[in-house]
Homo-oligomer: A and B are copies of this chain.
Amino acid sequence: MRNILLEICYDGSLYHGWQVQKNAVSVQQVLQDALEKLLCERPDVKGCSRTDSGVHANSYFVSFKTDKGIKTENVLTGLNTYLPKSIAVKSCREVAEDFHPRYSAVSKEYIYKLYNGRIRDPFFNNYAFHYRYPVNAEYLNSEAKAFLGTHDFKGFCSARSDVGDTVRTVKRFDVFREGDMVFFRVEADGFLYNMVRIMVGTLLFVNEGKIKSGELAEIISGGERKRAGKTAAPQGLYLNRVNYE
């Protein structure tokens, strides 16, 4: 069977996350519907990660298997015709049969956008989190380095998660400002459920002085969810990049 890999991007504000579920529209379902129209069969699609309701993707990878002989360029064009405008296929190529968008990934990068203007910006309602309290991005960038390296992140994971191994390696964590927008960019070998949003929420506690300078390392090693900050709102989060070998 051919194994076809798609790179897509989507505006998550219109979807209840990636994964198919009852009574709600997911990106996976809409993509399968478009594939069925194109191929006259309904292949199972495998995604590179679960994303929550309202979370966006600048770059998300999906694979499916088929025996149809359609050219990859025609898969791209055809899917972009059948998909709604809120989802686009950016590229399409054939990969090895054992390639898996999730398990073959070496690391992923998320970006969190926080709009720090005093007055809300109507154009960012669904695309950034509006946080009025002034953000000291340089200070947060310095404190965030405590996340770097291999740690047990069980304190930075939703209670609803039941994953076994909570050890992850964070390769990069940068906080920077461009005008009124503050960006949190984090790369890791993998992420726990809600991990980025809890990391951002915890850094906002650091910003507000609820967590003191240097205290973050101890909160990480302590492993208690209640000592970390709130889970930041979903509309600021973007899966930005997935790295493969």
Contact = CB atoms under 8 A, between A and B. Distances in A.
A233 B11 CA distance: 21
A123 B87 CA distance: 9
A119 interface: yes
A87 B119 contact: no
A122 B87 contact: yes
Interface residues of A, number: 19
Contact of A80 (B56, B86, B119): B119
B85 A11 contact: no
A75 interface: no
Interface in A121-139: 121-123, 125, 127
A9 interface: yes
Nearest to A12: B122
A172 to B, nearest CB: 23
Task: State the majority secondary structure of interface residues on A.
Answer: mixed
Given A88-B119, A88-B120, A120-B88, A11 B80 contact: no
Contact of A125 (B76, B86, B119, B125): B86
Given A10-B122, A56-B123, 19 more contacts: A9-B121, A9-B122, A9-B123, A11-B122, A11-B123, A11-B125, A76-B119, A80-B119, A80-B120, A85-B120, A85-B122, A85-B125, A86-B122, A86-B125, A87-B122, A88-B121, A88-B122, A90-B119, A123-B127
